[in-house]
Amino acid sequence: MEQMYESLGISKEVYAYGESILADLKPRFDGIDETAEYNQLKVIRAMQQSRVSAECFNTSSGYGYNDIGRDTLEEVYAAAFHTEAALVRPQITCGTHALAVALSGNLRPGDELLSISGKPYDTLEEVIGIRPSCGSLAEYGVTYAQVDLRPDGSFDFDGIAKALKPQTRLIEIQRSKGYQTRPTLSVAQIGEAIAFVKQLRPDILVMVDNCYGEFVERLEPSDVGADMIVGSLIKNPGGGLAPIGGYIAGTKECVERAAYRLTSPGLGKEVGASLGVMQSFYQGFFLAPTVTAAALKGAIFAANIYERLGFHVVPNGTEERHDIIQAVEFGFADGMISFCEGIQAAAPVDSYVTPEPWAMPGYDSDVIMAAGAFVQGSSIELSADGPVQPPYAVYFQGGLTWPHAKLGILMSLQKLYERGHVKLPQKI
């Protein structure tokens, strides 16, 4: 095994250090496998209840009327996430698009959107209008307010109560950390916040940005009162097979309003051809629990590798996990760039490419992204990215298989080791 890793560029020192870390992680990995088993059975039950058949994999074109595969898949998502309805479409291009559809479909001029988990993800700032942008919610008369999390990453319930206004229509909660080094919110925390809001204002809708969190725990935010959960199919629920797409799952009314925004008033869910992607959508969702488990193992391995070398990591090596993202704070630009180069070098696709920072659309600083993926931008595949600015934190996620995640992390360490940015213990 050591020789095989050496043939891929991993030195004996880096390999030995990695193996020493893994020796302590077996109990954690066993727990992840148990959660994956539970969630796998949950998905199978949903597929059986929805009577998935071979005909569901057929394609449709044009208007997509009476697309049995599309309609059944949406039943599967609703059953798995315990919601009344779901919208799962290839016409949803990404997670940001799914969130924009959910928000714009359920907000009207004069309404206020309130984020109670602090600053939203960068690309959502232009959707909302925090950064002025053509077609933002602000241009349509939707106002925005924000309640930051407490320093320990918990919800500020007093601040939430004070922020509620008569025009507050929808509360947004971002489960994952985005490009921040705050803790990811657990489903239990989210449930507590939803219960608090609903007690004060039962009329307010609560939407949870569920990106990177699906199948990490046994429960989803929809199990604890969320009116909508929203995510991308090129993250966890697509299982690495979905080539595009997003989902919105929730109450029938919320999903219908989102569907009318995605397509057109009067059309809603009735149109939208599946264009030959149904088998990938079904099979990806079937594989999602085990693929997510592989990504979680990689995140825990990375946390322990870098924490023991003295770097600040979020979550730390022993914390409970609520999403697949692992943040590593280097404090200097070449540290995060070297890390990303290692992830790219371990990829099955474009391994010979050197990632460089660039001005990505939707971000306010240069961003470096490493991803030799089968699907462009797929965050459930092995990838790492981050804005090249202090504190120079890189955000690692994905890995369709645990062995690939392991190789990527070791390769990232190899790059840092070769450049003298880390010193490995002499005795392991």
Average pLDDT of the residues in 409-426: 95
Residues of the chain with CATH 3.90.1150.60: 2-39+286-418
* CATH 3.90.1150.60 applies to domain 2-39+286-418: yes
User: What backbone phi and psi angles, to 5 degrees, belong to 172?
Assistant: -110, 130
Per-residue model confidence (pLDDT) at position 321: 95
Where are the domain boundaries for CATH 3.40.640.10 in the chain? 55-277
Q: CB of 211 within 8 A of CB of 178?
A: no
pLDDT tops 70 at residue 428 = no
Of residues 321, 388, 387, 243, the one with CA closest to residue 31: 321
In tens, the pLDDT along 198-241 reads: 999 999 999 999 999 999 999 999 999 999 999 999 999 999 99
314-365 pLDDT tens trace = 999 999 999 999 999 999 999 999 999 999 999 999 999 999 988 877 667 7
pLDDT digits (tens, 9 = 90+) for 136-167: 999 999 999 999 999 999 999 999 999 999 99
And the tokens for 297?
Answer: 């193992």
Give me the chain's average pLDDT, please: 96
CB 142 within 8 A of CB 124: no
Q: What is the pLDDT of residue 178?
A: 78
For residue 396, name the pLDDT band (cuts at 50, 70, 90): very high
CA-nearest of 34, 1, 36 to 407 is 1
- Under CATH, which number does the domain 55-277 receive? 3.40.640.10
Task: Output the DSSP codes for 367-421.
Answer: EEEE---SSTT-TTSSEEEEESSTT-EEEEE--SSHHHHHHHHHHHHHHHHHTTS
> Which conformational region is residue 377 in: left (phi greater than 0), alpha (psi within -120 to 50 degrees), or beta?
left
Q: What is the pTM of this model?
A: 0.95
- Which pLDDT value is given to residue 427? 63
Beta carbons within 8 Å of 262's beta carbon, 6+ residues apart: 87, 89, 91, 92, 101, 105, 272
**Under a CB-based contact definition with an 8 Å cutoff, are residues 124 and 173 in contact?**
no
pLDDT per residue over 234-253, tens digit each? 999 999 999 999 999 999 99
> pLDDT tens across 358-385, in order?
887 766 778 999 999 999 989 999 999 9
pLDDT at 395: 94
The neighbour count for residue 66, using CB atoms within 10 Å, is 9
Instruction: Provide CB contacts within 8 A for 18, sequence distance 6+.
Output: 301, 305, 406, 409, 410, 413
